[in-house]
Structure 1
């Protein structure tokens, strides 16, 4: 939805990563806006070809399934192969966590060796709200952010704006609208209430630094050689500096399928995810130990494995996932977030009716 802006951000990001880290990214040969193209059709980006044996998702997924089915991880994949792939991904995540800036937003290249956060964060979430959620572009943030709190509140406001702007066929009934309304105002309360906010946004990290975050970093955008070592990472659009809590949440793609699409529900998804998460944690610790030996990582303060474990065990993982995925927000809020902060529901109550118990409290608080 924002082709010129997206391209500028991606070019600056790729060059920044190539200059500041060992993450293998393609060399940019040339890029330009719509008016710079020979036929003025669209913004363009010409990059070097990265030699590779396969796309990582082709190694991880179950083969032989119908093309119209969503991908799922191959449960029969060789354990050694899985560890190799996870270790490679953990290395990239660890490297990205050390690429930080003092503000939240998109990178701009100042000169050959200087980059800074100079424009609003352009996330995949924001793009999809405009593309699919009929959100007016004027409702998106227009500035950078100095704190994780201010950015989180801006995302909460986007959720409310989306509910107002979404076409009517997204609402099933009057009760469905009220339920969605209450969820969004309660979520905003998690940010505005200092006591609640302190449970998931740490005061020491609220003012940064803010590590680089890519909404679209996943196995589908990672190239590997015949030995399953990463040869390239591509598709860096929708990359920006973000609250460290985003990085602290372990990656959702370990079993390839998103929780909101898991047919057996969130509880079953979490059980399957936990099996792979334990393997990923071991690989992340291996990467951390190697980085410590090379003097690239502080022994304890920069370990991601501990922070990721806390995020998963505390439930912060679900907050970070919900705030970045608006179309999955409602089911995640009522299933994973509401009871943690606003009390357990009464015995026997249907999850679709939870909002009725706290509707008055939510409206009273906002008033």
Structure 2
């Protein structure tokens, strides 16, 4: 049985095909030169020195233009990549707003070095209608924080914390990261969602919280975009319930690679129904969601914040933080959980398994919490205030890990990791021990939980188990990208027909 919900390989291949074709398209000489002219036109009074495709990231293509003067070292033009960014216009709009919001709200307290935006626009305004775009200052840097934390010269495909890094260096680098997290946690709004500027220094939570997981379950989980949440939330419990429903919908709709047997399918439905029960049942919910936090305020949260997106200079000091897509105001419990990225690698991808990840994580967590406490002390010392234990983010993070709340937050946010987490880290805390709790037979625990399901949940499970087993190899791929990606696919097909 699958330890985690795999990606739909057919959808993933389709996403890769569109991405690779689009990259070839933009590198055609005519398009490339048009992009260069477009970016230069925003800096027409300056003498440019160089222009190049700077980076192909997880979601964006980034072009860099440098100049001969010293006003700024350069300018960045960034486009979401079709086939990868499934909500390009929404993603860009949200990212611009949150970058401006964070810059404004932290400027006089703990400023986060975010690139200054000179212009952004929709697809219709872009060269060759490539897509929505952001033009921003380039931040000169020596590397990323992730590279500083990895083994020097590492050629590993996925990042991993260097096992030989000294405690002194690790605490220093964690301290740099802790400052960003602490600053971000101090700004909040009265609803959960994405922000819109409504006036000078006036902001409103006007849009749904577009998350990284929402993008991915549409891209490689074949969930129709119509099944996604489309509202803001004034209570954390309502948002958590929406996330639980999203886990159930994802399992229903993903065609390929979601299950490998009837037992596997039932096990996955049972875990998702029980997770929803943990959120819906007031007695169970009170074990991890404090009523005083349910109504907010809701701090800023970035799904994709990690050391890779933190830029450092040659002295390993933070000079920039980039890639703020999928950032929104969220339940405070998200911020109270310690960062998953202390080891750089996610728990569900750890080569030696979840238990070993936890062992290694617990070795590093005290160092990070000590760095966070130093950050807190420095902040409140400058304000001439005494910091109570209940005010410390470091204390809340320690409590989240020790109680297991960390895993609820992680499972809620990460659809594809849910099955690697639920049975080992969440189930027994709320529903008690089982006979099949050992590593060898943990896949059978779900059979002991069937009596906890509601009759209608059992009916849904039976219906979808039969349906999914029958249709795994027969149902056509239901891939639901944005309109621009669909138009680009049609353009690709027309070109292929012409070549033939």
Band of TM-score, shorter chain:
over 0.9
- Check the 8 A contact 1:288/1:297 in 2, yes or no: no
Deviation at 1:161, TM superposition (A): 0.3
Aligned: 1:154 with 2:154:
no
* CA RMSD, 1 decimal: 1.5
- Check the 8 A contact 2:309/2:321 in 1, yes or no: yes
- Partner residue of 1:15? 100
- Partner residue of 1:331? 420
- Partner residue of 1:95? 183
Deviation at 1:123, TM superposition (A): 0.3
Residues 348, 94 of structure 1: CA spacing in aligned structure 2 closer, same or farther, 3 A cutoff?
A: closer
- Partner residue of 2:126? 37
| Structure 2 portions without partners, runs of 5+ | 1-85, 459-500
- Check the 8 A contact 1:141/1:154 in 2, yes or no: yes
Deviates more, 1:295-304 or 1:216-225: 295-304
> Mapping of 1:208-357 within 5 angstroms?
208-295=296-383, 299-300=387-388, 301-346=390-435, 350-357=441-448
Deviation at 1:162, TM superposition (A): 0.4
Aligned: 1:200 with 2:288:
yes
Secondary structure in 1 matching 2:173: helix
Secondary structure in 1 matching 2:198: strand
Give the TM-score normalised by structure 2: 0.71
Secondary structure in 2 matching 1:263: coil
Among 255, 266, 276, which residue is 1:188 paired with? 276
Deviation at 1:65, TM superposition (A): 4.1
Deviation at 1:327, TM superposition (A): 0.4
Figure out how many residues of one structure are paired with residues of the other and give that number: 366
- Partner residue of 1:361? 452
- Partner residue of 1:179? 267
Measured in 2, the distance between the counterparts of 1:302 and 1:126 equals 32
- Check the 8 A contact 1:159/1:184 in 2, yes or no: yes
Measured in 2, the distance between the counterparts of 1:347 and 1:127 equals 35
- Check the 8 A contact 1:125/1:324 in 2, yes or no: yes
- Check the 8 A contact 1:84/1:229 in 2, yes or no: no
- Check the 8 A contact 2:437/2:445 in 1, yes or no: no
Secondary structure in 1 matching 2:412: helix
- Partner residue of 2:163? 75
| Structure 1 portions without partners, runs of 5+ | none
Aligned: 1:2 with 2:87:
yes
Give the TM-score normalised by structure 1: 0.96
Deviation at 1:291, TM superposition (A): 1.1
Deviation at 1:267, TM superposition (A): 1.3
Residues 365, 63 of structure 1: CA spacing in aligned structure 2 closer, same or farther, 3 A cutoff?
A: farther
Measured in 1, the distance between the counterparts of 2:176 and 2:160 equals 20
Residues 65, 287 of structure 1: CA spacing in aligned structure 2 closer, same or farther, 3 A cutoff?
A: closer
- Partner residue of 1:53? 142
Measured in 1, the distance between the counterparts of 2:88 and 2:386 equals 39
Residues 34, 297 of structure 1: CA spacing in aligned structure 2 closer, same or farther, 3 A cutoff?
A: farther
Secondary structure in 2 matching 1:169: coil
Residues 315, 296 of structure 1: CA spacing in aligned structure 2 closer, same or farther, 3 A cutoff?
A: farther
Measured in 2, the distance between the counterparts of 1:299 and 1:214 equals 26
The runs of at least 4 consecutive aligned structure 1 residues that moved more than 3 Å come to 63-67, 363-367
Structure with the greater alpha carbon radius of gyration: 2
Deviation at 1:361, TM superposition (A): 2.1
Deviation at 1:315, TM superposition (A): 0.4
- Check the 8 A contact 2:436/2:445 in 1, yes or no: no
CA displacement 1:86-114 (0-9 Å, x = unmatched): 01111111111111000000011123322
Measured in 2, the distance between the counterparts of 1:287 and 1:65 equals 30
Measured in 1, the distance between the counterparts of 2:177 and 2:386 equals 20
Deviation at 1:329, TM superposition (A): 0.3
Deviation at 1:173, TM superposition (A): 0.3
Among 128, 151, 161, which residue is 1:62 paired with? 151
- Partner residue of 1:169? 257
